[in-house]
Amino acid sequence: MGISVTISAATEQDAEQILKLQFLCYQSEAELYGDYTIEPLTEPLDSIKGELTAGGVLVARLGDEVVAAVRGSVDPDGTARINKLIVHPRMQRHGLGGRLLIAIEQRLGGSSTVKRFQLFTGHRSENNLQLYRKHGYAPVSTEVVNGRLTLITLTKDAAPAAPSAYAASA
């Protein structure tokens, strides 16, 4: 019997595993764009620990190993920003990224103040773009960072909150 992947809130004890996984996962992005100074490869451990303290970080575990992670937060204007969705290379192309994306949307979108979800990726990151489109995201803007990288911002509307039991019976 195999071990199944579970998704849960990250804890402070996960910080080092997330940092190592992030470093591994963003190597291919750095190679794709010819830039090994991208923020995910230079982010300090304390930054990740700060995000863990604030909440909004989910991990996927295979046994005790963190094999995927995603971060998110909600702005005062109701935009839920999703970032750093990473999946261990050996676990990619099996639906885990989509599962994590749905999980973080559910976690962040649980509030009636969330109006939209937003994320971004590089213009050459076809697998990322394909995943986001599959989950209902559409491009809304681009930003030329340098001659090698253009960031594409994608959004989708949050589903309207279900009426409460009280409202339904009134």
What is the phi/psi pair of residue 95, to 5°?
90, 0
Residue 69 is predicted with a pLDDT of 98
Confidence grade of residue 110 (pLDDT, cut at 50, 70, 90): confident
Domain locations in the chain?
Answer: 5-169
How many other β-carbons are positioned within 10 Å of the β-carbon of residue 52?
20
At 29-66, the pLDDT tens digits run: 999 999 999 999 999 999 999 988 887 899 999 999 99
- State the fold for domain 5-169: Aminopeptidase (3.40.630)
How many other β-carbons are positioned within 10 Å of the β-carbon of residue 19?
18
Q: What is the mean pLDDT of residues 94-108?
A: 95
152 forms bridges with which residues in the sheet? Answer: 121, 142
In which element (H, E) is residue 6 found? strand 5-9
Rounded Cα–Cα distance for residues 72 and 92 (Å): 20
Residue 170 is predicted with a pLDDT of 41
Residue 79 is predicted with a pLDDT of 95
